[in-house]
């Protein structure tokens, strides 16, 4: 019989709250505990006459009656573990890795009852910072004494001379310093307070190569092709892979800094304009597989990317992978689970109860330093590195010296150490925390670790929220379980202000192209007939949009699944069946823009519509005409098309993101030859492609939420046609009546605004963008570098 660890209670395990963020509260916008942390001062009544005593006490403690701040906790029994090493040797204990909370706020005669798993706010913050600084590349100079970032508070830094000299020539009219020294004033005199800043590209020998690399990346060239393109024209000597990688990382950093500076300006302009801003954002999750680096192990690792794009302009705001390339698995595990003296650390959580009993228990995932990461993989990867090291050393000696020959003592010592480390890691991994085995033991020849998707999702959405101008946000996505856990918390303040809506759509993805076209044609035909009839009876002044809405409002229906015996089941997945969301999902008749047979759910919408909708059961018909019209309007604009468009362009144009096998994003991937990749490089590729797509490439854009004007009228006139076999031309009237309007998403968004000179709009020239100090935009350093 395995023993259980002591019972824990909520005050003992409740994670720390951030100043303005807390994932561990009720997620129902209509519950009094929405955003309210547990109140541990509420007395708990147990035993004889508990309810009577509670009623008496409720007279003086209002929270007892309302349940404000009242939660209960239970075990997360999906993750049972057994520890059988160290203090549990010969005496194993079982425990649950995680806890769930249940909201006990009063709701009528009942309690709220919304449950959720406990997460760590600190892990969220860590992930948020990672995404905000793009894995550190947008961090900028940091004071070596106290860690203050120059970009956070440039005013605290003073200039302290220059260094180096760039001679005049090229685009430079006069010589200028190559770098500047700054001092963090509060730390003046301390070691590290004086920092030297220069621009990375000044060390590049061939600046021209940078634009060529950029063009290669956005035109689908592989690393191999790039090395050939950049080879020395005289000797044919290819550029080294690591030098190429460092150029790619430089490009990513520069373009991200450029984009950040521009979007910041855009946000400031929008906020200052006083106009009401309503952003509609399409969000989707995309899986891209990375080949493992080793040639021996031809397997793929799927990485999950969160992508968010503006529906009106097609601007892709972010693409974030659930992968942290800055984590070295061996280093991470040793740093966090071993003390300086090699003693085990951070394994146990100490608890002391009011009765005076103190005890320890294995740390749960939201208490562990590695809880943000996919831990089984992290530990396996750390162990795998030691194993690869040992095998490599042994093989090398066996090959050159033959078997049976004693190894040099220092080598033997290292091998013994590797053996010890592996044993130690195994004890922590399986013996103590009970992480299950993984088939990825050998994987990990590059740095990094997979992050739990829930944290990446929350951080992605929080970063997105902070990038957008003040105003309303409508988020449209697909049914994702991770979203349910975090969306109400990330957008809590906006939900409270009634400035946030969240729709979830699903549509037929398996359909063949001809069938999809036929559906769209059928819809268009029915709509036209409806318009004709309506105009005949109601008059001509009805707009197309009004008639489209009317047509769809009349024909929308409640979506549910019908079993064989006629039983009805909710359309949504289990996570969306929580009572924090309206249960009604609707089937919209609109078949257009490639998304057909669409069903839309409304997890969060304006309070005015949310309240009546929440009162309906999942299979009820919506009768209220105003509510029906409101849902139709929303369903007509609910699309993830901007993300799909971006992704198909990405897959067509960049070689590493080509889908391996099958057309479905999640179907069995296969090894892609030539796409040897390090996730950090893949992530750089995607960011480079994204900024290029947003800023440098004009395209026509159409979509359900697109601003009108994807086409411009062509002035009537004549064009010349040559008579075959002669030099004679005749004039014929122009055929086309409209021409496509070619703009970049940044132009449509307004982030690349129209110049006053009225000349045709052109996308910026990358050569003029790449060498400016974008990272320091808006700080005194920007001016210093620019002058």
Binding site for Zn ion (CB under 5 A): 26, 28, 31, 33, 103, 105, 112, 114, 143, 145-146, 148, 184, 187
Q: Are 141 and 149 in contact (CB under 8 A)?
A: yes
Nearer Cβ to Zn ion, position 34 or 695?
A: 34
Query: CB-based contacts of 130: which residues, under 8 Å, 6+ apart?
Result: 136, 324, 326, 459
d(CA 25, CA 15): 11
Residue 574 CA to residue 576 CA, distance in Å, equals 5
**Which CB sits closer to Zn ion, 56 or 146?**
146
Contact status, residue 539 vs residue 629, Cβ threshold 8 Å: no
Provide, rounded to whole angstroms, the least separation between the CB of residue 27 and Zn ion: 8
Q: Which helix (H) or strand (E) holds 6?
A: none
What is the Cα–Cα distance from 47 to 516, expressed in whole angstroms? Answer: 64
Nearest approach in angstroms of CB 86 to Zn ion is 39
Q: C-beta of 100: minimal distance to Zn ion in Å? A: 13
Give 114 or 288: the residue with its C-beta nearer to Zn ion: 114
Q: Which of 778, 782, 771, 787 is nearest to 182 (CA)?
A: 782
Residue 33 CB, nearest distance to Zn ion (Å)?
A: 4
**Phi-psi region at 567: left, alpha or beta (left = phi > 0; alpha = psi -120 to 50):** beta
Q: How far is the CB of 26 from Zn ion (least distance, A)?
A: 3
Minimal distance, residue 126 CB to Zn ion, in Å: 22
Q: How far is the CB of 142 from Zn ion (least distance, A)?
A: 9
State which residue, 105 or 312, has the beta carbon closest to Zn ion: 105
Cβ atoms of 383 and 441 closer than 8 Å: yes
291-to-248, 330, 364 alpha-carbon distances in Å: 18, 21, 32
Rounded to an integer, what distance in angstroms lies between the CA atom of residue 233 and that of residue 190?
49
Choice between 614 and 653, CB closer to Zn ion:
614
User: From the CB of 616, what's the least distance to Zn ion, in Å?
Assistant: 20
Collapse the DSSP code of 35 into the 3-class scheme (helix H, G, I; strand E, B; otherwise coil) and give the result.
coil
Length of the chain: 787
Query: In the complex with Zn ion, which residue's Cβ is closer, 101 or 187?
Result: 187
Q: Tokens standing for 196?
A: 């030297």
In the complex with Zn ion, the residue whose CB is nearer, 2 or 146, is: 146
b/e string for 23-54 if b means 16 or more Cβ within 10 A? bbbbbbbebbbbbbebeeebeeeeeeeeeeeb
Q: What does the DSSP 8-state code read for residue 194? A: E
Whose Cβ is closer to Zn ion: residue 187's or residue 682's?
A: 187
d(CA 316, CA 310): 6
Q: Give the nearest distance from C-beta 784 to Zn ion in angstroms.
A: 20
Task: Work out how close the CB of 103 gets to Zn ion at its nearest, in angstroms, rounded to a whole number.
Answer: 3
Give the residue with the Cβ less far from Zn ion, 151 or 239.
151
Tell me how far, at minimum, the Cβ of 643 lies from Zn ion, in Å: 32
Q: Is the Cβ of residue 148 or residue 505 nearer to Zn ion in the bound state?
A: 148
Report, in Å, the least distance between residue 359 CB and Zn ion.
Answer: 31
| Most distant CA pair in the chain, distance | 109
Residue 157 or 397: the one with the smaller Cβ distance to Zn ion is 157
Pick from 130, 118, 131, 96: which is nearest to 16 by CA? Answer: 118
Q: Are 195 and 143 in contact (CB under 8 A)?
A: yes
Q: Could you give the angle at the alpha carbon of 198 between the alpha carbons of 193 and 202, nearest 5°?
A: 160
Q: What is d(CA 159, CA 150) in angstroms, rounded to the nearest whole number?
A: 12
Minimal distance, residue 159 CB to Zn ion, in Å: 15
Buried b (16+ CB within 10 A) or exposed e, 548-563: bbbbbbeebebbbeee
Q: Strand 157-163 relative to strand 115-117: parallel, antiparallel, unpaired?
A: unpaired
- For residues 346 and 369, the answer to whether their CB atoms sit within 8 Å is yes
Contact 541, 551 (CB under 8 A): no
The CB-of-35 to Zn ion minimum distance in angstroms stands at 10
CB 202 within 8 A of CB 178: yes
Closer to Zn ion by Cβ: residue 148 or 333: 148
Question: Under 8 Å CB-to-CB from 290, ≥6 apart: which residues?
Answer: 300, 301, 302, 303, 656, 677, 678, 679, 682
Pairing of the two strands 71-75 and 99-103: antiparallel
738, β-bridge pairs: 713
Alpha helices per DSSP H over 539-637: 544-555, 607-614, 625-637
Q: Is the dihedral of CA 380, 382, 388, 390 positive or negative?
A: negative
* CB closer to Zn ion out of 143 and 468: 143
Q: Which is nearer to Zn ion, 114 or 605 (CB)?
A: 114
Measured from the CB of residue 156, what is the shortest distance to Zn ion in angstroms? 8
Taking the chain, what is the end-to-end CA distance rounded to the nearest angstrom? 76
Q: What is the CA radius of gyration of the chain?
A: 30
The dihedrals phi and psi of 474, each to the nearest 5 degrees, come to -115, 120
Measured from the CB of residue 773, what is the shortest distance to Zn ion in angstroms? 22
- CB of 380 closer than 8 Å to CB of 390: no
Q: How far is the CB of 707 from Zn ion (least distance, A)?
A: 40
* 346 phi and psi angles, rounded to 5 deg: 60, 20
Of the pair 38, 656, the CB lying nearest Zn ion is at 38
* Nearest to Zn ion of 70, 647 (CB atom): 70
Compare residues 134 and 182 and give the one whose CB is closer to Zn ion.
182
Q: How far is the CB of 571 from Zn ion (least distance, A)?
A: 24
Q: Describe the strand order of the beta sheet including 80-83 as a list of residue ranges.
A: 3-4, 93-96, 80-83
Nearer to Zn ion, 193 or 636 (CB): 193
């Amino acid at each position: 019989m395995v023993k259980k660890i002591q019972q824990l209670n909520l005050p003992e395990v409740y994670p720390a709250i951030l100043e303005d963020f807390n994932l561990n509260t009720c997620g129902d916008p209509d519950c009094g505990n929405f955003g309210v942390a547990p109140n541990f001062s509420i007395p708990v009544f147990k035993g004889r006459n508990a309810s009577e005593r509670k009623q008496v006490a409720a007279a003086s403690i209002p929270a007892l009656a309302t349940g404000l701040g009242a939660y209960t906790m239970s075990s997360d029994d999906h993750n049972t573990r057994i520890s059988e090493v160290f203090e549990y040797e010969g005496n194993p204990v079982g425990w649950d890795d995680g806890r769930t909370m249940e909201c006990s706020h009063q709701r009528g005669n009942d309690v709220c009852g919304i449950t959720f798993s406990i997460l760590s706010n600190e892990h969220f913050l860590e992930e948020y910072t990672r995404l905000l600084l793009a894995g550190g590349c947008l961090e900028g100079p940091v004071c070596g004494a106290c860690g203050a970032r120059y970009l956070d508070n440039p005013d605290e830094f003073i200039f302290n001379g220059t260094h180096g000299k760039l001679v005049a020539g090229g685009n430079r009219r006069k010589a200028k310093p190559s770098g500047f020294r700054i001092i963090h004033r509060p730390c003046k005199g301390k070691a590290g307070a004086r920092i030297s800043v220069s621009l990375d590209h000044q060390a590049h020998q061939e600046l021209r190569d940078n634009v060529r690399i950029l063009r290669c990346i956005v035109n689908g060239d592989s690393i191999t092709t790039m090395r050939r393109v950049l080879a020395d024209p005289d000797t044919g000597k290819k550029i080294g892979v690591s030098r190429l990688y460092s150029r790619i990382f430089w490009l990513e950093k520069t373009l991200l800094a450029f984009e950040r500076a521009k979007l910041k300006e855009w946000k400031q302009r929008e906020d200052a304009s006083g106009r009401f801003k309503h952003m509609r954002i399409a969000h989707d999750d995309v899986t891209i597989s990375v080949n493992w680096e080793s040639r021996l192990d031809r397997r793929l690792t799927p990485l999950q990317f969160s992508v968010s794009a503006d529906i009106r302009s097609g601007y892709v705001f972010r693409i974030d992978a659930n992968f942290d390339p800055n984590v070295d698995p061996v280093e991470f595990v040793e740093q966090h689970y071993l003390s300086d003296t090699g003693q085990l650390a951070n394994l146990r959580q100490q608890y002391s109860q009011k009765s005076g009993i103190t005890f320890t228990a294995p740390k749960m995932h939201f208490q562990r330093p590695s809880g943000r990461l996919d831990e089984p993989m992290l530990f396996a990867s750390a162990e795998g590195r030691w194993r690869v090291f040992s095998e490599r050393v042994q093989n090398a000696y066996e090959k050159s010296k033959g078997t049976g020959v004693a190894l040099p003592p220092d080598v033997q010592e290292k091998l013994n150490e590797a053996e010890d480390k592996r044993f130690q890691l195994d004890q922590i991994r399986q013996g103590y925390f009970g992480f299950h085995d993984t088939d990825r033991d050998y994987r990990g020849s590059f740095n990094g670790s997979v992050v739990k998707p829930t944290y990446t999702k929350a951080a992605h959405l929080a970063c997105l929220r902070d990038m957008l101008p003040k105003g309303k946000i409508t988020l449209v996505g697909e049914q994702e379980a991770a979203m349910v856990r975090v969306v109400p918390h990330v957008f809590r303040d906006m939900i409270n202000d009634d400035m946030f809506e969240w729709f979830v759509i699903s549509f037929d993805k398996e359909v063949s192209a001809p069938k999809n076209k036929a559906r769209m044609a059928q819809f268009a035909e029915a709509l036209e007939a409806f318009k004709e009839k309506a105009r005949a009876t109601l008059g001509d002044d009805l707009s197309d949009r009004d008639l489209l809405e009317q047509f769809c409002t009349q024909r929308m229906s409640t979506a549910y699944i019908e079993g064989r015996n006629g039983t009805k089941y909710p359309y949504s997945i289990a996570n969306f069946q929580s009572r924090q969301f309206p249960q009604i999902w609707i089937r919209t008749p609109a078949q257009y823009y490639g998304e057909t047979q669409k069903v839309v759910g409304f997890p969060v919408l304006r309070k005015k519509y949310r309240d009546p909708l929440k009162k309906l059961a999942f299979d009820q018909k919506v009768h209220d005409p105003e509510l029906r019209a409101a849902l139709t309007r929303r369903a007509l604009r609910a699309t993830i098309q901007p993300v799909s468009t971006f992704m198909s362009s990405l897959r067509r144009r960049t070689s590493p993101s080509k889908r391996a096998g099958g057309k479905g994003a999640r179907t069995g991937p296969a090894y892609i030859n030539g796409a040897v990749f390090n996730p950090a490089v893949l992530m750089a590729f995607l960011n480079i492609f994204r900024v290029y797509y947003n800023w440098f490439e004009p395209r026509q854009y159409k979509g359900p939420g697109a601003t009108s004007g994807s086409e411009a009228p062509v002035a009537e006139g004549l064009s010349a046609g040559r008579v075959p076999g002669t030099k004679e031309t005749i004039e014929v009237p122009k055929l086309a009546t409209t021409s496509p309007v070619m703009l970049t998403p940044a132009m449509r968004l307004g982030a690349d605004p129209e110049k006053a000179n009225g000349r045709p709009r052109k996308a910026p020239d990358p050569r003029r963008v790449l060498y400016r100090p974008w990272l320091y935009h808006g700080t005194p350093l920007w001016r210093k570098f620019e002058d």
